[in-house]
Amino acid sequence: MLPDHLSQAQALGWTRGANVHQYELGRLKNFVYLIACPETHEVWIVDPREEWKTCENDWIQDGYRLSGVLLTHTHHDHVGGLATIADAYPKLPLYLGREDAARIERSLSRFQVNYLEDQQNIPLGTVAITAVHTPGHSPGEYCYLVEGSAHRYLLTGDTLFIRDSGRTDLPGGSDEDLFLSLNRIRLLPTDCIILPGHHYVSECASTLARELETNAPLRAPSLEALKAIP
């Protein structure tokens, strides 16, 4: 069961009291997420685009403060806001996969850089965030498992979309790695709310239980079967 603010056809942005807030920004239909702790009033931004200040207005009005940045990966459409975030919030903690760091090397000196390890816990107040290494679309791609007060979320970047998976034909992409990563996701709790990196279908969110029934790449029983999907 999806929470009301994630069960609509459009991203609703800031929702008071929620642990995860979803925005659709930019011409590539990127989803940018805020992970928030209502107890400490801290918020982290995930994959900030250039238009991230749309989100800033919301968290400030509700009395929150930005305290970190998480990257699922570093393709250009997921990191365009890093420079202006660094201008506004110098030396914020930034978490990313080491294998993806080279693409944004010039930006790293402006943050407190933390290279992720698989299954690393990133505490945000009372909200537990676990980084899950899921290469395939990009070598340093990570999903984030968020244990909120009422729901469990999986922010999947470009590894897993609703009823699809990420492409592997870009530099560093790998069908073999993606197959292994999808197998890891299959084993997560089925009540996880799947929150992808792009709005490519009518829905904004799904559940792992639903994707295990409807998502062809996630259901592929072998590498050969995954490669055969159009």
Please state the rounded mean pLDDT for residues 47-67. Answer: 97
The per-residue pLDDT for 1 is 84
Domains of the chain: 4-221 (3.60.15.10)
- Going by pLDDT thresholds of 50, 70 and 90, the confidence category of residue 80 is very high
pTM across the whole model: 0.97
Q: How far apart are CA 219 and CA 216, in angstroms?
A: 5
The per-residue pLDDT for 68 is 98
Mean pLDDT over each residue of the chain, to the nearest integer: 97
- Going by pLDDT thresholds of 50, 70 and 90, the confidence category of residue 149 is confident
- Going by pLDDT thresholds of 50, 70 and 90, the confidence category of residue 48 is very high
| Residue given tokens 């790998």 in the structure block | 174
